[in-house]
Amino acid sequence: MLFWLFCLCMDLLIPAVLLLLGQRFLTRPPKSINNFYGYRTARSMKNQATWDFAHRTCGRLWFRLGLILLPLSIIAMVPVLGREAGTVGLWCAAVALIQTAVLVCSIFPVERALKRHFDDFGRKR
């Protein structure tokens, strides 16, 4: 039971980070383009307008994904409650892998929105 609880907490980390960073990017995004913190892709770092747009778009998306993944992650862990540690560990890893795939795939809609709103030089369309 203790290992299951540990795994549940670990599986709630990615949704929690999505919620926290999503809210942060919406309310207090990084002010200027930097190489350390923020949604950093070549397209988002073209100029200040693309940087600000990317953080608003990413913040909204990550916050929504966090809201969706949080309860789904809890529900996903219920079937292995009381099972042996090996089963719980594998299940926990599978849930984390799916969450990571969702996080990585969230790049595509943000980049698509940037491409739709800005040309290749970062000028608004």
Domain extent listing, the chain:
2-30+37-117
Beta-carbon-side half-sphere exposure of residue 9 (alpha carbons within 13 Å): 6
Confidence class of residue 125 from pLDDT cuts 50, 70 and 90? confident
What are the φ/ψ torsions at residue 103 (nearest 5 degrees)?
Answer: -60, -50
**pLDDT (mean) for 60-76:** 97
The answer on pLDDT for 31 being more than 80 is: yes
Residues 71-112 have pLDDT tens digits of: 999 999 999 999 999 999 999 999 999 999 999 999 999 999
Q: Could you count the other beta carbons within 10 Å of the beta carbon of residue 93?
A: 13
pTM of the predicted model as reported, rounded to 2 decimal places: 0.90
The answer on pLDDT for 9 being more than 80 is: yes
